[in-house]
Chain A
Amino acid sequence: MIGLYAVAIGAPRQALGAQGEPVRIVARSGLEAVCGEAPPALSAEALRAHEAAVRRIADESQACLPARFGASAADEDELLEALGAREQELREALELVRGREQMNLRVHGAAAAPTPEGGPGTRYLEGRRRATRLPELDPLRSSLSAVIRAERVEPHEQPGLIASVYHLIDRGAAADYRRAVESAALDGIRLSLSGPWPPWSFAPELSP
């Protein structure tokens, strides 16, 4: 059993995995699977160690898609088969994240009231549209338009937590991003920010 840390381009030849092991690279037509020991049992320490290992690899790679905790294959052949089946999707994602990293925003507040017009179907669709578009963030988006390269919005059902928003930014732009978020005047919402992180939210999932 081998564990996967990342799919990358230009990954470091020498890096340490989550369990202190040297990672090895299994390459096929330019895509590099950065592998190590089989994943350990779930624990807070194991999750932190996985994140730290991915960060070490991402910092030294040209482009890096992190692998989820627990991603593993029986052997190299099985790994290459799984990656080969989605090669095009992985290449596109790698091009998107090349030289970039991610910031996480948790958007707190009360979700906007649904528009009263229209039937239940229309109101539902409008609610969905607002939830994934999150127009409350538009002032921030416009002040960050030079910095944000891509965005993923994940609406939440949790009262008080409207959504999680993940922004892809160029490496080195985190300080500018943070300043803009801290000085943003947003109506009725509050943001908590973390990052920079490797671009976790911009990796395609390989499971159907």
Chain B
Amino acid sequence: MRRPPRTPAQEIIAHADSSLLEIVDLVLNKGVTLQGEVILGVAGVDLIYLRLNALLCAADKVLPSGGRK
């Protein structure tokens, strides 16, 4: 049986390395916004918000020097 295709948000969560997680935190959580509803309208962003802290925590365990550029 084939699994349903992953959403873009699930793809990001599944493949995020520490550098992408840093980018996700800045680009989706920070910065000037014009209209809140536009941001929330980006499909799947709420899922990423929910998982981001856990991923940041886990990324550090995998890569002790995680996030170095």
Q: Mark each residue of chain B from 9 to 26: 1 if its CB lies under 8 Å from any CB of chain A, else 0.
A: 101100110111011111
Contact indicator B69/A194 (Cβ below 8 Å): yes
Bin chain A's interface residue count.
Answer: 35 or more
> What's the least CB distance linking B32 to chain A, in Å?
5
On whether the beta carbons of B32 and A4 are closer than 8 Å, the reply is: yes
Q: Decide if A207 touches B34 in the complex (CB within 8 Å).
A: yes
Query: Is A67 a contact of B12 with CB atoms below 8 Å?
Result: no
CB of B2 closer than 8 Å to a CB of A: no
A32: Cβ under 8 A from any B Cβ: no
Which one, A71, A158, A160, contacts B38 given CB within 8 A? A71
| Contact status A200-B67, CB under 8 Å | no
Given contacts A43-B8, A104-B22, A192-B60, contact A69 B34 (CB under 8 A): no
Main secondary structure of the interface of B (DSSP, over half): helix
A158 to B68: give the CA distance in the assembly, Å.
Answer: 21
Report the bound CA distance from A72 to B33 in whole Å.
Answer: 8
A42 and B32 contacting across the interface, CB-CB below 8 Å = no
In the complex, A56→B60 CA distance in Å?
28
Task: Write the A1-32 contact mask toward B (1 if CB under 8 angstroms, else 0).
Answer: 00010110000000000000000000000000
Q: Mask for B32-69, Cβ within 8 A of A = 1, else 0?
A: 11111011011111000000011011001100111111
State which of B20, B22, B25, B67 has its C-beta within 8 Å of the C-beta of A44.
B20
Provided the pairs A42-B9, A70-B42, A201-B26 are in contact, do residues A208 and B36 lie with their beta carbons within 8 angstroms?
yes
B residues sitting closer than 8 Å to A (CB atoms) are 8-9, 11-12, 15-16, 18-20, 22-36, 38-39, 41-45, 53-54, 56-57, 60-61, 64-69
List residues of chain A with CB under 8 Å of any chain B CB: 4, 6-7, 39, 41-44, 47-48, 50-51, 54, 65-73, 79, 82-83, 90, 104, 106, 108, 156-161, 164, 190, 192-195, 197, 200-201, 203-208
